[in-house]
Amino acid sequence: MPDTPPSLSPQDALIAVMIAASASDEHMRTAELVAIQRMVNHMPVFADYDADRIRRVSQTVLDLFEVEEGLDALFGLIRDGLPERLYETAYALACDVVTSDGRHTEAELRMLEEIRHELNIDRLHAAAIEWGTRVRHLLP
């Protein structure tokens, strides 16, 4: 891994948040990866995004997870690449990824808490995002 991780575009930063949420429990489940791909394919924020970049961003996130202070470095990259107006979008995407497989591990919940904290998501806004995620992923 290079000494200085590459800078991230706003879309790369959103991908990084989703990958971090998925990888937080050390099990990137198929449902989570499919959810990420689906969001990239269908959300307007990714309209002009080169999906081939997902692999590079994913590797950056996974590399940073392996080093001391890597999570701090990752959040620094995310904040540098992500405009503040997309912070709640990033949190919503992370919630969708974590919920996509129908279960929440303690590690995933801690990661969501960390994302909330690092992106300064208001607690009331976070609760609304979490409620929206829950109702979108209810089973029949």
pLDDT, residue 1, reads 46
Question: What is the percentage of the chain residues whose pLDDT exceeds 90?
Answer: 83
Domain ranges of the chain: 10-136
CA proximity to 75, closest of 8, 2, 3: 8
Residues 123-132 pLDDT 10s: 999 999 999 9
Alpha-carbon gap, residue 28 to 54, rounded angstroms? 14
Answer whether CATH 1.10.3680 is correct for domain 10-136: yes
pLDDT of res. 6: 66
pLDDT score, position 139: 72
pLDDT tens track for 13-72: 999 999 999 999 988 999 999 999 999 999 999 999 998 999 999 999 999 999 999 999
**Mean of the per-residue pLDDT values of the chain:** 92
Cα 107 to chain centroid, rounded:
14
Place of tokens 């620094």: 76
The structure's pTM equals 0.92
Three-state secondary-structure class, residue 62: helix
Distance CA 118, CA 120 (A): 6
pLDDT at residue 15 in the model:
98
Residue 74: per-residue pLDDT: 96
Model pLDDT, residue 138: 79
